[in-house]
Amino acid sequence: MSSERRLPRSRRRATVVSTAVGAAVVIGCTVLLIPRGSTQTAADLPANSAIGDGSGAPGASATGTASAGASASASSSASASASASASASASGSATPTSTAAFSGPPKLSIGSSQNVAGTLQPTWPNQGQAEIDLDGSVIKSYGPVSSSQPIASVTKTMTAYLILHDHPLSPGQQGPTITLTAADVTAYKYDVSENMSSVPVKAGEQLTESEALQALMLASADNIADVLAHWDTGTTTDAAFVSKMNSEASALGMSHTHYADASGYDPDSVSTAPDQITLAQHAMGLGYFAQLVDEGSAKIPVAGTISNYNSLLGYDGVNGIKTGSTGQAGGCLLFHADFTVNGRTLTLSGAVLGQDAPTGQELGVGLAAAKTAISSTESQVTARTLIPAGTAVATAPLADGTTATLHTTANLTVTAWPGETVTLRLNTSGTTHTLKAYASDGTLLGSTTLG
């Protein structure tokens, strides 16, 4: 270890070197230019005076310009060395302590679109197919999502959507009355004999449109699916209504979907997880529909109190949509959830189809698979560092033609899922520059100042 002792800053010697335009004062390893005619002497200089100290402060930039002129005429090697040091400090990409020297607005030096580190990994079922969307963006899918398969009573989602398209209701409205006939009673008895899901009816019973939709979507009544189809088209068969279902599916871009009946009992009513999510996102935009599928129970004439088969309602923000199960379709669930993390509210849409299980257990297996997929997805939405503190993210022009670099003064933290694409924007207010991160829907996710 060297035994050399450094003098205190106040006792260091100053060397004055004559130049063409003034005097260069060397204090330790620091150089300061004194123009000719200046009344300031070496004795007047503060111990910590410096030219181009790397701060990029306005005073340093102005003095650095004079230093550059002096370096051109310097005759001694000491003067040349001092000039080089001053020039390097006053140019390049120094970070100013004040933005008063900026000659123009800062601009991002990194991409305005950034992806949160990592990849979202839901816990998927080990059979069938599934997909999950977050805030309208396809996140992940599992299984043969381009292959159509039976969807059982999930079919009733399209039935309800079409009924509300043709006979709109607002939340709280009951709508027109549907009078049930002897033929409806006969159909009910047949459904019971086939072990189809149904609700009791009697001839002359009157159901409002809203009550019929509750029987359809909560109790998953196959017989009421037919009642609504016949009422909508003014016919006694499903054919006309099923044609409308397929036309609407085509209009929505559900290219892997085909409906064979209004209830889904027919295994030829087939679709895919992505197609059903497309339908769900349109249907949930209807206020009445969104309220309907979030109801845990309801009371209707004759049948009395009916319960929703969707036992996940209220779990992790789940507020819909439709269950389904048959031996051919397995357990199925089309689901929707709104959940909040750190003040950010997100919407999750998804579908789990084809969960095979012993007879009578299909729905339970389907619900369990969906529950796991939902919870494992939502748990990965959390506070994450998008850009660490001290990262160079922007540049700004200086008056002398050089460029200053701006860095984040703290971590830019966002509440997001792994792999989410975030948009960055620079905001300037006076001399304060802020980097802000936004979700695809315009939600502000986080911000940090630059310096």
Range 355-359 contact pairs with CB under 8 angstroms and sequence separation of 24 or more: 355/125, 355/127, 355/128, 355/330, 355/331, 356/127, 356/128, 356/330, 356/331, 357/330, 357/331, 359/327
The response to whether 202 counts as a known ligand-binding position is no
Q: Which of 79, 91, 153, 198 is the catalytic position?
A: 153
Q: What is the DSSP letter of 81?
A: H
Q: What is the DSSP letter of 102?
A: B
Residues 6+ apart with CB under 8 A from 440: 135, 136, 137, 421, 423
Q: What is the token pair recorded at 68?
A: 């550059």
CB 394 within 8 A of CB 426: yes
Annotated active-site residue 153? The verdict is yes
Other C-beta atoms lying within 10 Å of the C-beta of residue 160: 24
Containing H/E element for 278? helix 273-283
CA proximity to 80, closest of 93, 47, 88: 88
Q: Which of 197, 220, 271, 349 is the catalytic position?
A: 220
For the chain, the maximum distance between any two Cα atoms, rounded to a whole number of angstroms, is 116
Q: Which of 83, 85, 156, 210 is the catalytic position?
A: 156
Beta strand extents in 200-300 (DSSP E only):
206-208, 270-271, 297-300
Burial (CB count <10 Å: 0-12, 13-18, 19+), residue 101: buried
Peptide bond into 139 cis (omega under 30): no
- Secondary structure (3-state) at 432: strand
Annotated active-site residue 61? The verdict is no
Annotated active-site residue 220? The verdict is yes
Please give the annotated binding residues for substrate, written as ranges.
322
Residues labelled as active-site residues: 153, 156, 220
Please give the annotated binding residues, written as ranges.
322
